[in-house]
Structure 1
Amino acid sequence: MSRITIAVIGAGLIGRKHLKKVIDHADFELVGIADVNSDVVGAQYPGIPVFANYRRLLDETRPMAAIIASPNQVHAEIGIECARRGIHILVEKPVTDTLEAASHLIEEVHRSGIRTLVGHHRRHHDQVRKLRGLIGDKDIGALVGVSAIWAAYKPDAYFQVAPWRTQEGGGPVLINLIHEIDFLRFTAGEIVAVSAVTSSDQRHFAVEDTAGAVLEFENGAIGTFIISDSAVTPWTVEQGVGEAVEFPFSGESSYRFLGSHGSLEFPNLVRWDQSPEERTWNRPVRAQRLFSTTIDPYVAQLEHFRDVIRGTAESLQTVEDGARTLIATLAVTEAARRKARVELGARYQSLAA
C-alpha cells in the first residue's frame, strides 16, 4: 500500500513529538511543516519544506492528511481549511477553544466527508484499553464510583515563560483536567452532570490552582476528582504510566474504580475482589496484579490514524466526540463559578443539531 502523505501544522512542543513519530514511520511521508517561526524550524528539519503560512503548505504540497498541533485558538480555522481541501485531520486536544468554534468545525467536516481523529493520546495506551475492557465486561460488577487525583507542583518558571497560564483558561482545569475528563468518558462512561468548587489560595493567580469536581455518569456511577498544580505528589497518570521522560516514573495509581463485585487501581491495574458468595466487609479483599504491555501511545495513535484514513478502522475519537470532552471540561469551571450543578445532555445534543 502506498505511503500516506502528511503535513504537520505547528512545530512547538507537541508538534515536534508528532514530527518525530511521522518521520520514523514507514507508512507516512512527511511532505511539509507549517510554523510561524519557519526559519528556525527549517534549520531543525533540513530537506523538509517549511512554510510560515499553513494555507500555502496545504495548497503547494497537497497532503492526504494533516496533524494540527497549532495553538488551540486556531484549531477550528485550520481544520476547516483542511476539510475544504479534502484533507483528513488529526487535531490536538482540545479539539477547539470554544464550543462555537467546535460547531463550525463539525459542520464543515460533515460537509466534506473527511476523516478525523482528536489527539487525546491516552486512549491509545495498552493499560487504558485493558481497563476499558474490564469495566465494559463488568469484571468488577456494576461500576459504582470513581475516585481520582491529578496533583503536581508546577515550578515558577512554568508560569514565567507563559504568563497566560496565570489567567482564565490557563489553570489545571483546562490544561490538565481535560485529559482526565476524556479518559473517564472513554473508560467509565458518558458524563451527564458536573458540580465543582475551585480555589486560588495557593498561588493567588486570577485562575484556579486547585479544583474539586463531582461527576455523574450516565450509568449511575459517581466520580470525585481533585486536581491541583500546587501540591507535591506522585499521583498523576503521567508519573504512574511513565509515558514521558519529563515526568519521573512513580508507579503509583491515581485512580480507583469501585465496582459492586470488586475494584480496580489504575494505572497499576490491580484488581481487588471477593468471591461472589462472600461479599461482605467482614472478609478480606484479595489483590491481583493484572498484566498489560507498555507501548508508545503516540505511535499507536499515529497507526490508528493511518487505519482511519485507509478506511480499515473507525475513528476512536472524532471531532464530535472531542467536542463532548470539551463540553464536560468547561462545565467544571462553570459549575464552580455558578455554585450550581450543570447538566450536559442538552449541550451534547446541540452538537448534532
Structure 2
Amino acid sequence: MRPLEIGVIGAGMIGRKHIERILAHPDFELAGIADPERDVVAARYPGERVVADHRALLAEARPDAVIIASPNRAHAETGIDCARSGVHILVEKPVADTVEAAARLVEESRRAGIKTLVGHHRRHHRQVQVLRGLLGAGEIGRLVGVSVVWAVYKPEAYFEAGPWRREPGGGPILINLIHEIDLLRYLVGEIAAVGAMASNSQRGFAVEDTAAALLEFAEGALATVVASDSAVSPWSVEQGTGEVPDFPFSGESSYRFFGSLGALEFPDLVRWSQPGGPPSWNRAVLAQRLPAPTLDPYVAQLDHFRDVIRGEADSLQSVEDGTRTLIATLAVSEAAGTGARIDLRPRYEALAAGSAGFAG
C-alpha cells in the first residue's frame, strides 16, 4: 500500500513535533509545509517543499491529508479550505477559536465527506486506554466523582514569547484546562453542566493564572478541576507520563477517580479496593499497581489518523466531538465571569442542528 501524502500547516512548536514524526513514519510522506515564515522553515527543513500559504500547499502538493497546527484563530477557515479540496484533516486543539467557527467547520466537513481528527493527543496514551476500559467495566463500581489537578509554573520567558499569552484566551483555561475537559469527556462521558471561578492574583495579567471548575456529568458523577500556571507542583499529566521532554518526569498521579467500590489513580494506574467484603469506612483500602506500557501518543495519534484515512478505523475524535470539548471549555470561562451554573445541553443540541442554528 502506498504511503499517504500528508502536509503540515504551521511549523511552530507543535507543528515541528508532527513533522519529526511524519519524517520517521513508514506510512506517510511529507507532502510539504505551509508557514508564513517560509524562509526560516525552509532553512530548518532543507529539501522539503515549503510554501507561505496553506492554499498554495493544497494546490501544488495535492496531499491526501494535512495536519493543521496554525494559530487557533485560523483553524476553522483552514480546515474549511481543506474540506472543499477533499483533503482529510487532523486539526490541533482547540478545533477553533469560537464555537460558531467550529460549527462551520463541522458543517463543511460533513458536506465534503472528509475524514477528521482533533489533536487531543492524550486520548491515544496506553494508560488512558487501560483506564477507560477499567471504568467502562465497572472496576470501581458506579463512578461518584473525579479530582483533577494541573499545576505548573510557566516562566517569564513563556509570556514574553507573545503578548496574547497575557490576554483573555491565552491563559490556562483555553490552553491547558481544555486537555483535562476533553480527557474527562472521553473517560467519563458527556459534561452536562459547569460552574467555575478564576483568579489572576499571582501575576495580575488580564488573563487568569488559576481556575477551578466544577463539572456535572450526564450520568450524575461530579468532578473538580484546578488548573494553574503559577504554582510549583509535580501534578500534571505531562509530568506524570513523561510525554514531553521539557517537563521533567515526576511519575505522580494528577487524577483520582472514586466510585462505589473503589478508586483509581491516573496516570500511575493504582487501583484501590476493599476485597473480601462489602465496602465500609471501617475496612482497610488496599492498593494494586496496574501495568500499562508507555508510548509516544503523537506517534499513536498518527497511526490512528492513517487508519481513519484508509477506512480501517472510526475517528477517535471528529471535529464535531472536538467542538463539544470547546463548548464545555469556553463555558468554564463564561461561568467564571458570571458566577452562573451553565447547562451545556442546549448548546450541544444547537451544534447538532448545524451552524445556522447555533445560539450558544
Q: Same fold (TM over 0.5)?
A: yes
Mapping of residues 136-215 of structure 1, within 5 Å: 136-215=136-215
> 2: CA distance between counterparts of 1:126 and 1:214?
27
In 2 relative to 1, CA 86–276 (structure 1 residues): closer, same or farther, beyond 3 Å? Answer: farther
**Secondary structure of 2:277's aligned partner:** helix
Q: Does 1:86 align with 2:90?
A: no
Question: What residue is the counterpart of 2:15 in the other structure?
Answer: 15
Query: Is residue 134 from structure 1 mapped to residue 156 from structure 2 by the alignment?
Result: no
1:3-152 matches, within 5 Å, as 3-152=3-152
Q: Separation in 1 of the partners of 2:249 and 2:330? A: 30
Letter of the structure 1 residue corresponding to residue 297 of structure 2 = P
Map residues 270-285 of structure 1 onto 2, 5 A cutoff. Answer: 270-275=270-275, 277-285=277-285
Aligned-pair CA distance for 1:189: 1.2
Q: Distance in 2 between matches of 1:230 and 1:182?
A: 22
Match of 2:206, SS state, is coil
What residue in structure 1 maps to residue 269 of structure 2?
A: 269
1:53, distance to aligned residue in structure 2 (A): 1.4
User: Is 1:250 the counterpart of 2:250 in the alignment?
Assistant: yes
What amino acid is the match of 1:59?
A: A
Match status 1:260 vs 2:260: yes
Return the offset for 1:275: 2.4
What is the rounded CA distance, in whole Å, between the counterparts of 1:207 and 1:47 in structure 2?
41
Mapping 1:307-318, distance limit 5 Å: 307-318=307-318
2:196 counterpart SS class: strand
Residues 146 and 256, structure 1, Cα contact 8 Å, conserved in 2: yes
Question: Which residue pairs with 2:338 in the alignment?
Answer: 338
The alpha carbon displacement at 1:278 in A equals: 3.1
| Residue aligned with 1:278, SS | coil
- Classify the secondary structure of the residue corresponding to 2:263: strand
Distance 1:307 1:228 in 2: 36
1:231 equivalent to 2:224? Answer no
Q: Is the 8 A contact 1:18 1:298 kept in 2?
A: yes
SS at match of 1:277: coil
**1:265-293 deviations in whole A, cap 9, x for unaligned?**
11000000012623110010010000001
2 CA distance for matches of 1:155 and 1:23?
A: 31
Q: Which amino acid aligns with 1:57?
A: L
Cα displacement string for residues 27-56 of structure 1 (whole angstroms, at most 9, x for unaligned residues): 001111100011111111111110001101
2:141 counterpart SS class: coil
Deviations 1:225-258 (A, max 9, x none): 1111111100001000000110000010011000
- Give the paired residue count: 353
Matched with 1:216 is 216
Where 2:224 maps in the other structure, the secondary structure is strand
Secondary structure at 1:134 match in 2: helix
Partner of 1:351: 351
Give CA-to-partner distance per residue, 1:155-206, whole Å, 9 cap, x none: 1111112121111001110110000000000011111100011111111111
Deviations for 1:91-145, whole angstroms, at most 9, x for unmatched residues?
Answer: 0000000011011101100110000000000000000001111001111100000
Partner Cα distance (1:162, 1:81) in 2: 27
Q: Percent identity between the aligned chains?
A: 66
Aligned partner of residue 153 in structure 2, secondary structure: coil
Residue number in structure 2 paired with 1:241: 241
Residues in 2 aligned to 1:56 and 1:333: alpha-carbon distance in whole angstroms: 36
CA RMSD of aligned residues (A): 0.7
Quick check: 1:261–1:276 contact (8 Å CA) kept in 2?
A: no
- Where do 4+ consecutive residues of structure 1 move more than 4 Å? none
What runs of 5+ residues in structure 2 fail to find an aligned partner?
Answer: 354-360
Amino acid at match of 2:149: I
Q: Distance in 1 between matches of 2:53 and 2:288?
A: 54
Structure 1 residue 291 corresponds to structure 2 residue 295: no
